Structure 1
């Protein structure tokens, strides 16, 4: 999108190598390369949204979210390079913006990283006494049925309230 004379020229193949926390998280947005490894924990959308596009063309994803002018200004801090001219894609929207899905770079998926080996081994001896043998789950209470007497009580209270209201209303109107 913007020409950068002093920026390092970095190929999409090199960007594809930086697709996880171990190798660094690099993104391509508008033909520029950003190293957002240090921004993962601060990103308002969570680190997963950045890791999903790590090592790839992320212009469409970036534009779809609708980042603010402040976010675009903050991006400059993470700018590390630009694509070589032969790998740059032109914007399809008037006035620049997102690339169409068919224009996205054909970048191989991020290489898988083997999980760290754990030294944990499950115990081979039985667990000590005091194990939980049962869990008590209380039953739901059945709703109590109202007796005809309680219904009559509420009817009497409603009638008394209406009677008081009627008396007050009559005195108010007679003034």
Structure 2
């Protein structure tokens, strides 16, 4: 029977001496594998104590690498303890590594774990903001045209 672990338990194992991570809601103790990892120790240590599902999947690990995980499995993440509670450091809202929790089965309703933060004021670059300025400039130009016409005719 698989041991059920919480996000808090996994988070405590975030140093080189004890490296646990979650991939597809399964908890792995990869401490002994850090020195053997073909990609070096940094990717593993960056995800230590966190959910590394999307980072693991996006790298394109081979079937052999996925099969190797079995020997490091120590348990299963408790229900409701998904990536919202243990997002990896490399996940930023704009990062390719964190699109939404549906990719790591943390959300049962298919919704992102939390909406992305609103863009900083004045940095919106979506066309709507530009359209407002174009319409405003056009309106001002029309008013100036009427004022000039009235001034010059009379």
Q: TM-score, normalised by structure 1?
A: 0.48
Q: What is the match of residue 8 of structure 1?
A: 3
Of 62, 68, 75 in structure 1, the residue corresponding to residue 62 of structure 2 is 68
* Paired position in structure 1 for 2:13: 18
| 1:56 matched residue in structure 2 | 50
Match of 1:45 in 2: 39
Pairwise CA distance, 1:21: 1.5
Contact 2:24–2:53 (CA<8 Å) still a contact in 1? yes
Q: Which runs of 5+ in 2 are unaligned?
A: 84-96, 107-112, 114-154
Structure 2 distance, partners of 1:100, 1:9, is 24
Q: Distance in 2 between matches of 1:75 and 1:85?
A: 21
1:27 corresponds to 2:21? yes
Alpha-carbon shift at residue 88 of structure 1 (Å): 4.6
Instruction: Report the count of equivalent residues.
Output: 91
Matched position secondary structure for 1:85: coil
CA RMSD across the alignment: 2.1
Larger Rg, first or second structure (1 or 2) = 1
Could you tell me how far apart the structure 2 residues matched to 1:59 and 1:26 are?
Answer: 13
CA contact (8 A) 2:7 2:82 kept: no
Point out the structure with the larger helix share: 2
Unaligned runs of 5+ in 1: 1-5, 90-98, 107-175
Aligned to 1:86, the other structure's residue is in SS state coil
C-alpha displacement of 1:84: 1.1
